[in-house]
Each structure stands twice: as C-alpha cells, then as structure tokens.
Amino acid sequence: MSFHKHLHIVGAGVAGLSIGWRLSQAGWDVDIYDKGAAGHGASWAAAGMLAAILESEPGEEKLLPFLLESQELWPDFAHELETVSSHAVGYIESGTLFAARERDDMGILRQRHDYLSKHGMILEWLDRAQLLEREPCINPRAYGALLSPEDHQVDNRALVVALLSACRKAGVKIHEYTPVEEVLIERNSVAGFVSKGHKIPAAHLLLAAGAWSGSIKGLPENFLPPVYPLKGQMLALQMDLGKPILRHVLWTPRVYLVPRTDGRLVIGATMEDKGFEEVQRAGSVLHLLREAFEILPGIEELPLIESWTGLRPTSTDDAPILGGSGIGGLSFATGQHRHGILLTPLIAGVMAEYIDKGILQEIAAPFTMARFK
C-alpha cells in the first residue's frame, strides 16, 4: 500500500467536495472526478433545509443523534467556509414551521410532537393567531403549527459554489465531465480506476457518487453500497424582495416552502421510486403548486422561474453509508438520502479523519457497511 497521501474521489457533490477540502487541509493531494458539471447532482437540486428535528420520524432513532450533531456544526462550518472561499452560503437561522392546513393534519402534528418530545426535542405549539402573527400571508383557515426553533436552512447551490472555491484555493484538482467508468481491484485492494478509457493508478479512492454509488462498475456485487435513486421534483417562484410573503421555512404534511434571501421561494418535493428517470411530470408540478397554494395563497401571483428534478442517494435503510468498504483503500460516503446537505459538516469531518488516520468516530459506527452483512 502506498503511503503517499493522495486521494481520488468519485463525485463532486457536497460529500466529495467537503471531504476533499478537509483532506487537503490535512495535507493530502486530492483529485475529484465528476461525470458532469461539479456540484450539479442532488446537491444542486436540494432545498437546503437543515431539519434535523422536524424531519426525524419514528424508526429513525439511530440517525437522530447524527443529524443533531451535524446541525450543531453548521454555524461554525458556514462561517469557516465563507471566510476561506469568500462566498456567502446563505445560512439563515429562521426556524421551521410545520403547519396544519386541514383538521386531519393536527393529528399528524401531534404525533410528530409527541415523538420528538419523547426524544428531548423542543417544539412550540402556535395557534392560528400566533401562526398568522409570524406569517401573515398564510391561509387564515390554517389550524395552527409547530415551530421548530432550531431547524434552519442553507442555500445549497451557494454551498456548492463556496465548496468549489475552497477546494480550488486549497489546490484540490476537480476534473469535470470525467466519469469514473470502473474501479480496479487487485488482491482485495484498490489498484486504480478507468476514466475515459485510461487506467489511472490509485491507492486511496473515495466513492461519493450520490445516487449512482450503487451501480459503479468493478466492485464485486456484495461490496457495492446498497444505494438507489429516489427522485424528487421541485419548483421555484420569485417573491418581491421588498414584500416577501414568507420568512420561515414552512411545511405541511404534503409540501414544503423555503424562502431564500434573494427572494426565491423553493417548493418541494416529491419522493418517487422511478430509477434514474429525471423527467418532470405535470401531475407532480400540479400537486406541488396546489398544496403550496392551499397553505400560502399569495403564491398565485408570483412568477414561476424554475422547475427541476433531482435524485436522492437513498440506502435500503435510509441511513448514510460511511467508512470502509471491505476493500483496502476504498471508502464510501453515500446514502445520505434526504439529509445530505444537513450532514455535510459532520460527514466531511468524520470521513476526513477516517481516511487520514484510519479512525472512525463512535457517532458514525452505526453507519458502516457492516450493518448490511
């Protein structure tokens, strides 16, 4: 095994870029390969919600401390990245509202409240008047809401731009439109990979290829991370910056709306198991607009400025896949599902330490490949 600290990374999303940046800070040479434009996978498509608390559901108890730990890292991470890159990342501590538009929604809110309170999370009940005081443009027929004061947002596209700049400043080489076609393995260790038909020797390789991680060629089937694409469709409207109709991140059980500082109002998202299909469907756009209109009728007048799809890297148990692969020199950082933006600071730190020192922090221990064996 080579002791030269040179890491090759497959995938220039938030995972590959943030881990590459951290390792370059630790003295590693880093090359990142992307089959397309860097940062334009799920990391570009996301809504940027940092919703460790509200987005936690029964059955995800093991994941909750991991999400919360990353949420705590965000203020310092955003500050450091902005300072190093000279790019703002749009981290806003606005809190998140989970509103009940219909009577039945109150039951869903109550269930989420009870589950989260049992795990020590602090949520505030707002009645209709309190909700409208905070967000006057919400449909006055809404029943009330839960306020999660610690769930915030970052502008994920600005995050990608900042990470790219930080990487480049640190000397990380980013190879766009350069797919990794096959991983080469010899005697159960990484020997290199094939890109554009050329064999490139490599002793340390990180697979951070998002939704495509589970279908990379060259790995024996039982060593492949069990990751599949989970499609999401999204829209953006443009609010009048002088008169924004929403200030908090706003959810109902059927839609979410995320107001950015530049007036964009991001609306999402569907969850569809449709393989690698990235086409947009009228029915999904209709669903998103109808549900957004139901809770925030003022959207009717706003310009529709963009619509897009993205593929979440989802593992078979919806939790991330981190650490070693069982093949010497090959590590994984994938499977972040709905939480990859939220988890960026923690996964960057955990994986950089793992690759540099061979130590996997205790908090990441439940998320290795070992759980699938």
Ligand X SMILES: Cc1cc2nc3c(=O)[nH]c(=O)nc-3n(C[C@H](O)[C@H](O)[C@H](O)COP(=O)(O)OP(=O)(O)OC[C@H]3O[C@@H](n4cnc5c(N)ncnc54)[C@H](O)[C@@H]3O)c2cc1C
- Taking CB under 6 A as the criterion, the residue among 43, 71, 96, 331 binding ligand X is 43
What contacts 267, CB < 8 A, 6 or more positions away?
234, 235, 236, 237, 255, 256, 257, 258, 288, 289, 292, 299
Tokens of 213: 């991680």
142/346 with CB nearer ligand X: 346
The 247-286 contact track toward ligand X, x by CB under 6 A, reads: ---------------------xx-----------------
Establish if 229 lies at the interface with ligand X (CB under 6 A): no
Establish if 227 lies at the interface with ligand X (CB under 6 A): no
144/172 with CB nearer ligand X: 172
Nearest CA to 39 out of 232, 226, 210, 277 is that of: 210
Establish if 232 lies at the interface with ligand X (CB under 6 A): yes
Q: What are phi and psi of 70, to 5 degrees?
A: -70, -40
Q: What is the DSSP letter of 28?
A: -
10 Å CB burial of residue 186 (0-12, 13-18, 19+) is: exposed
* Shortest distance in whole angstroms from residue 171 CB to ligand X: 20
Q: What are phi and psi of 284, to 5 degrees?
A: -70, -40
106/285 with CB nearer ligand X: 285
Establish if 320 lies at the interface with ligand X (CB under 6 A): no
Task: Select the span of 29-37, 79-87, 97-105, 124-132 touching ligand X (CB under 6 A).
Answer: 29-37
163/360 with CB nearer ligand X: 163
**Cβ–Cβ < 8 Å for 76, 89:** no
Tokens of 150: 């610690």
Show contacts with ligand X in window 207-226 (CB under 6 A): 208-212, 216
Show contacts with ligand X in window 159-188 (CB under 6 A): 179-180
* Shortest distance in whole angstroms from residue 128 CB to ligand X: 27
The Cα 47–Cα 244 span in angstroms is 18
Edge-first strand listing for the sheet containing 180-186 = 180-186, 189-195, 198-201
**Cβ–Cβ < 8 Å for 154, 90:** yes
Q: Which residues would be at the binding site for ligand X (CB under 6 A)?
A: 10-16, 33-36, 40-43, 45-49, 179-180, 208-212, 216, 232, 234, 268-269, 310-313, 334, 336, 338-342
